Amino acid sequence: MVVGDFESSLGTVVIGSGPGGYVAAIRAAQLGQKVTLIEKENIGGTCLNVGCIPSKALIQASHHYQSMMDSPFPGIEAKEASLDFTAIQDWKDNQVVKKLTDGIKFLLKKNKVDVLEGTGYFMDNHRVRVMGEFGGDTYTFENVIIATGSTPIEIPGFKFKKRVIDSTGLLNLTEVPKKLVVIGGGYIGSELAGVYANLGTEVTILEGQSSILPNFDKKLVKYVEKSFKKMNVTIETNALAKKSEQSDKDVKVVYEVNGKEKEIICDYVLVSVGRKPNTKELGLERIGVEMDERGLIKVDEHCQTTLKHVYAIGDIVPGLALAHKASYEGKVAAESISGQDVSVDYRAMPAVCFTEPELASTGLTLAEAKEAGIDAKVSEFPFQGNGRALSMGKAEGLVQIVSDKETGEVLGGQIAGVNASDLISEITLAIETSASIEDISLTVHPHPTISETIMEAAEVGLGLPIHI
């Protein structure tokens, strides 16, 4: 802090306390660094406060409510199911989000990470100004890890107001809308469409591309589309959202499909067309850190920018905008500052969409493997052939494993089905350790479990299937 003509050094500074920032701060402290974390809003960032965690809480609650309304098991029927959305939101905020954010605060304190509340921006290569409600102070630092995350993109004709909202607004509604329009059928849009459809909302998804969830294999996306149809979710693809007109009670959405203009009147509009990096207000131009045309910070395999003592991680660097990617990069950056010989390896970076059923992917798709010049193949096993899935009433789904034809090395995988978010880790580990499909098939999987679908898909790849 500036005191007269003197400034105190903070050692290693981390700007942003999301899943990248707080993990980087703790790992740096564990390695003996003096660490200060700067956060302008809430510890835990978007993910814990208004993103990953609260959305999964509402997803789980909506599944329970829908199961009570329409049990998948013959002979089990609820005569009445009530919904207190205020109580659900209170549980989400205080029993889930608050517990986790309080836990992170405890971990930061335990690891002796100092926390400064305020907005940080660079004065020069080794000084950062932290502005709070009542002014600011300037600090010097030796190294810095930038982890400022991203914010939702606003589109023309849909300025965020009372009834045109982003994912944060939708997660914090105090009522269950009767009608909801979701602009963008990617991860966030599809997940939240499912939440409110389960709670009884009439949902319409407007997707600009030819399919929702374009990052996943179309064959697997069909399971989600089928589920949405059962939930009475309308999907309009190749749709261009043009404008919105709000009133006190509703909002009119005007959009175009194949040259034909249409309109919907609904209670709320969720705009979920992507996110932009939070790099504009940092003063990066003052210190010469290079960025690309999208505002993403250029980094090397050590998460190091064009300045050796400045690192960047998470949504503000190229690659998938995933919380676990940010955490992984945070560890690499902290360890690099400590002098360890580490670098990022994105060969096995899993991605999950918590729809019904869940979708998950990792490594290469078959098309990507062939594009890389690898003679690859894909082996599949349906959830319908799995005893545990059948007994759970969750037989919809499919496992795909991509492998090298000659060596059998696992290159990637995609899953649609119950617990896909957990199952994908086995394929990810196989890629990370250069395991083969034979290694997976020789690994004894407990019976009856969903994990057997991975073993069965590997056996299909070996040409030795048992249950298909």
Distance separating alpha carbons of residues 177 and 203, to the nearest angstrom: 9
> Tokens 């409110």, residue?
196
DSSP string for 108-124: HHHTT-EEEESEEEEEE
In terms of C-beta density within 10 A (0-12 exposed, 13-18 middle, 19 or more buried), how is residue 448 classed? middle
Distance separating alpha carbons of residues 42 and 428, to the nearest angstrom: 32
Q: How many residues does this entry show for the chain?
A: 468
Three-state SS string across 391-444, please? HCCCCCCEEEEEEECCCCEEEEEEEECCCHHHHHHHHHHHHHCCCEHHHHHHCC
Report the candidate in 317, 466, 467, 320 with the shortest Cα–Cα distance to residue 384: 467
Q: Say which residues have a Cβ less than 8 Å from residue 457's Cβ, sequence separation at least 6.
A: 379, 380, 381, 399, 400, 401, 413
Enter the tokens of residue 220: 């697997």
Distance separating alpha carbons of residues 312 and 147, to the nearest angstrom: 6
Determine the straight-line distance between the first and last CA of the chain, rounded to whole angstroms.
67
Region of 397 please: left (phi>0), alpha (psi -120 to 50) or beta. Answer: left
Catalytic residue from among 324, 445, 447, 467: 447
Distance separating alpha carbons of residues 60 and 72, to the nearest angstrom: 16
Enter the tokens of residue 450: 């969903």
Enter the tokens of residue 412: 């990637």
In terms of C-beta density within 10 A (0-12 exposed, 13-18 middle, 19 or more buried), how is residue 283 classed? middle
Distance separating alpha carbons of residues 356 and 213, to the nearest angstrom: 13
Distance separating alpha carbons of residues 36 and 425, to the nearest angstrom: 33
Please state the φ and ψ torsions of residue 112, each to the nearest 5 degrees: 60, 40
Is 447 among the catalytic positions? yes
Enter the tokens of residue 181: 């329009």
Tell me if 394 sits within 8 A of 63, measured CB to CB. no
Element (H, E) at 39: strand 35-39
Residues carrying an active site annotation: 447
